[in-house]
Every structure is written in C-alpha cells, then in structure tokens.
C-alpha cells in the first residue's frame, strides 16, 4: 500500500487512523499481533522494529528468544473488523545483531521470499504465479473438549440433512442432502450472502476473487477461489483470506473452520494450489505438442513434485486431521500421479486452461492447516529440483493416469504409489528427503528439525488421547 514512511503517515493523518496493528505469522501458521497508538508509529519503528518473545511464536529457545519484527509498508491495509480505525501491517521477523539486525532465516515470509529469489537465481524462471482454492465449513454451533474424563465434539449446521426433523426451533425445510451441496442454490444454500459479503471484504483487501460457490459437503461446506499472484504475495493473501472469512463468520454469529475433515463421511476441505511459471513475461509451461499442451519444463516440475511428494506433504498437510481427508471416496487424492481433468489424481491439469499464458496444473493434496509460506515454498522447491534434474514423471511411473484411480482393482492399486497415510509417514519422508528444500539456504536445516519435532508432539498427543471411537469399538471387549 505504501512505499515510504511519509506516504503512510499522510494516510494515517488524512484518514484519522487511531491504531497501528502489526501482524506476524508464527511457525504453525497462526496470526499473532501487537497494536500501538498511531502517534507512536514513526520512522524508528521501520528501522529497529518492535521487540517480542520469539519462543512464544515457536521459533526460538527461551534463552535466545529476544527478536524484533519490522513492518512491511507494502502490506498495509485497513482492518475492516476493528471498531477503532486501525491500519494493519505484516511484520518480518529479525534476529537482534550488531551492527544491524538480520532476517530470521526460519521466519515464514523469509522462507517464501528466499524460495522466489532462489528460483530467479537458477535462471529457470523469474516468476511463479499460484492460485489457491479455499474450501472451508461454516457452522452455526461448535463445541469440543479433551478433558481426562470427557472427550468429544459437537457441531451443527442448520442447513444439514440431520436437521430435517428438528422441532426444537423454527424449521422451514430446504435442507442440504448428504454430499449434495455442489453449486446448490438458495433456499438450500443459506450461506450465499455470507460468501458474497466475505468476497467483497476480500476485494477491498486487494484479494481478487474469481468466484464463490457451495461445495459438495451438505453441512455448510463452501469454496472461494481467487485470482493468481506471486508466491509470497499469495501466502500473505492466504493468511488474510482466512482472517477475513473467520471474522466475517463471527460477526454474523457463525463459526468458520478450514479443518481438512471436520465431519465424518462428508467431503473434506482442501487448499488446491494452481501454478504456472514465466520468464521475461513468457509462459514456460506451454508446449502445443506436449502432453496436454505442457512443456518439458512443466513435466519436469511435476516430476519433482511427485518424487518429493511425501516430504512436501509434511508442509502441505501438517496436521493429524489432514490424513482423515486423504482417503478414497471424497474426490481427495490418495495416489501419486498426474493426469488431465482427473480429480482422483494428486496433480490435475485443467482441460479448460488452453491459452499459453493460462496453461497450468493444480496440486490437490494441500489443506488449510498448512503454514502457506512454508507450503508454497516447499512446492516450488520440489518443482525446481525436478526441472534442474530433468525428473521425468512418466519414467518414474507416475502417470499420466487418465483413468479413475478410485475404481482400480486391488492388484492395479498395488502398482501405483500412494500419498502418506498419516502425519507420521509424512514426517519420516521429510527426514529422509529434504536436500531439495535446503538448496540455496531456502529451508534452514534447523527449521526442518524444529518442524519435525513440533509435528511429532502433535502426533503424540493425538495418539495418546482416547477417543469416542475407541469406546465404541472396544469398551465391551
């Protein structure tokens, strides 16, 4: 939004801004923020930053936890949810050093910026453009507990088919049937106006919306797809999109979640990532004579992604809940392969994207629990490794699979590699295979070690906690 402090100060004064909010991303991919009165914001803030405890963000040990974040003026925007006029800026994390502070190499934004710099240094491309698809659920009620003597959750969506016979409150019918929500219209789609209001706020934030619609899941599953942008730019916009959708929901007495699988036996929430690359403004993924009009570079990029997909999953699908979505029967990928117009494949090449500058493919396994800076950077690094080393996905036995991979016989399924079936498997893959991530110093070795440690702590808690399913299956034995 701004290039100089003077531009920012003029806007603050002209628009009666009273608070400046600094937003920073922690290691897990959650927003953290700190706010100061507008008259406390000065040029020194941009030079020396604002101190914070990095250990509370998951980055640093307690004994080395003093850090600063420095606001990025170009990221400034009005916060549309604050009662007091507030200007928000995303902050980059710096390590305190002499004579000058230095970028913290594990900072999510720093990693994604380095990935783009590394891409340019290879000479392969000078720009990657990505376009995420945001799938999420909006509920009317959610509660959960994990007490030692009580464990469970309860959700409700007034439009869900389980409310067809509800007589405890006014019931007007028109419920959304099981797995029948895709592109449904009002009156079944009671969340149409909610999506439009969220999209308008995204537009005001500079996030260009391609379209919105109801998704497959009957109990309030929705999708908003956005236009393409650069890697770090779209990571910023991914974080801001989630912020807007969640706060829009709360403002309307609703609750939004990007959990991959909040409801058993319904479609899960993905974060499909479309991508293509350019050099000197020209697309490098297009070849009229290639498979599905893809160039050798595009196929090599796919080859790198598929060869490293297990390790990539540790960043694109970093939750225990992620792998409850990656199961057969819900249009979520379970096999390692690529194909045209095939939603059962982890990489799908849209048949409708025919023009050279629109030729692309999408990676379908990521979900909204990822830290988008790490996830998008990992995707790029795997693809660049594929191009550098000319990894042929066909020679690797990864396609093209222009068939329904869900309907294969058991014998045929054994011939095709599968995605990790658990977070533990993905973390083991990352342990074995991460050299492609550390090229150019993009992913520090320390970050990978810390990531694996933190995610294994999540996994341990998940494994050790008894669940209602355990009681259902084993209590009477």
Catalytic residues: 53, 133, 135, 215, 223, 272, 343, 362, 364
Q: Would you tell me the crossing angle of helices 309-316 and 423-432 to the nearest 10 degrees?
A: 120
User: With contact defined as beta carbons under 8 Å apart, do 431 and 420 qualify?
Assistant: no
Residue 477 tokens, joined: 């034995």
Q: Of all helices (H) and strands (E), which one includes residue 438? A: helix 435-438
DSSP string, 236-287: HHHHHHHHHHHHHHHHTT-EEE--S-SSTTSPPPP--EEEEEEETTEESSB-
Inter-residue long-range contacts of 98-103, CB under 8 Å, 24+ positions, other chains counted: 101/48, 101/49, 101/68, 101/70
Cα 115-44-232 angle, rounded to 5 deg: 20
Q: How far is CA 154 from the centre of its chain?
A: 25
DSSP-assigned letters across all residues of 322-390: HHHHSSTTSS---EEEEEES-TTEEEEE-TT--SGGG--EEE----TTS-HHHHHHHHHHHHHHHHHTT
Cα distance between residue 329 and residue 120, in whole Å:
40
DSSP-assigned beta bridge partners for residue 20: 36, 87
Instruction: Say if residues 419 and 327 touch (Cβ distance below 8 Å).
Output: no
d(CA 91, CA 95): 13
Cis peptide before 143 (omega within 30 of 0): no
What is the DSSP annotation of 114-162?
HHHHHHHHHTS-SEEEEEEEEEEEEESEEEEEEETTEEEEEEE-TTBGG
Q: Among candidates 298, 376, 366, which has minimal Cα distance to 338?
A: 298
Assigned token pair, 90: 């995303």
């Amino acid at each position: 939004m701004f290039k100089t402090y003077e531009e920012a100060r003029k806007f603050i004064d002209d628009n009666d801004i009273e608070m400046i909010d600094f937003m920073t991303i922690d290691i897990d991919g959650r927003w953290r923020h700190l706010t100061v009165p507008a008259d406390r914001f000065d040029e020194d803030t941009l030079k020396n930053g604002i101190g914070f405890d990095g250990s509370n963000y998951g980055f640093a040990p307690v004994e080395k936890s003093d850090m600063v974040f420095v606001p990025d003026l170009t990221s400034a925007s009005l916060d549309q949810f604050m009662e007091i006029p507030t200007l928000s800026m995303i902050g980059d994390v710096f390590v305190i050093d002499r004579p000058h502070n230095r970028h913290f190499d594990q900072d999510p934004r720093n990693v994604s910026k380095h990935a783009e710099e590394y891409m340019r240094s290879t000479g392969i491309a000078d720009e990657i453009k990505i376009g995420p698809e945001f799938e999420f659920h909006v509920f009317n009620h959610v509660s959960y507990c994990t007490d030692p003597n009580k464990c469970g959750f309860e959700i409700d969506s007034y439009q869900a088919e389980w409310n067809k016979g509800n007589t405890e409150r006014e019931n007007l019918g028109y419920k959304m049937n099981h797995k029948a929500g895709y592109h449904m219209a009002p009156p079944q789609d009671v969340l149409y106006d909610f999506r439009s209001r969220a999209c308008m706020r995204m537009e005001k934030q500079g996030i260009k919306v391609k379209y919105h619609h109801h998704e497959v899941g009957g109990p309030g599953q929705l999708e908003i797809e956005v236009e393409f942008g650069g890697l770090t730019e779209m990571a910023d916009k991914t974080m801001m999109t989630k912020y807007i959708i969640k706060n829009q929901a709360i403002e309307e007495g609703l609750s939004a979640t990007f959990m991959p699988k909040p409801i058993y036996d319904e479609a899960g929430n993905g974060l499909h990532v479309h991508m293509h690359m350019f050099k000197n403004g020209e697309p490098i993924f297009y070849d009229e004579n290639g498979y599905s009009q893809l160039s050798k570079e595009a196929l090599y990029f796919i080859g790198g992604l598929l060869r490293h997909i297990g390790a990539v999953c540790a960043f694109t699908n970093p939750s225990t809940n992620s792998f409850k979505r990656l199961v057969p029967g819900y249009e979520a990928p379970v096999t390692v392969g690529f194909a045209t117009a095939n939603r059962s494949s982890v990489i799908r090449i849209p048949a409708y994207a025919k023009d050279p500058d629109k030729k692309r493919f999408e990676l379908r396994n990521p979900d909204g629990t990822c830290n988008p800076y790490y996830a998008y950077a990992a995707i790029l690094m795997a693809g660049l490794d594929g191009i550098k080393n000319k990894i042929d996905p066909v020679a690797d036995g990864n396609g093209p699979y222009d068939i329904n991979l869900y309907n294969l016989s058991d014998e045929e399924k054994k011939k095709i590699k599968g995605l990790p079936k658990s977070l533990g498997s993905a973390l083991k893959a990352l342990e074995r295979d991460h050299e492609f991530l550390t090229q150019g110093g993009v992913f520090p070795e320390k970050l990978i070690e810390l990531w694996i440690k933190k995610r294994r702590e999540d996994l341990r808690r998940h494994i050790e906690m008894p669940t209602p399913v355990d009681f259902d299956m084993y209590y009477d034995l």
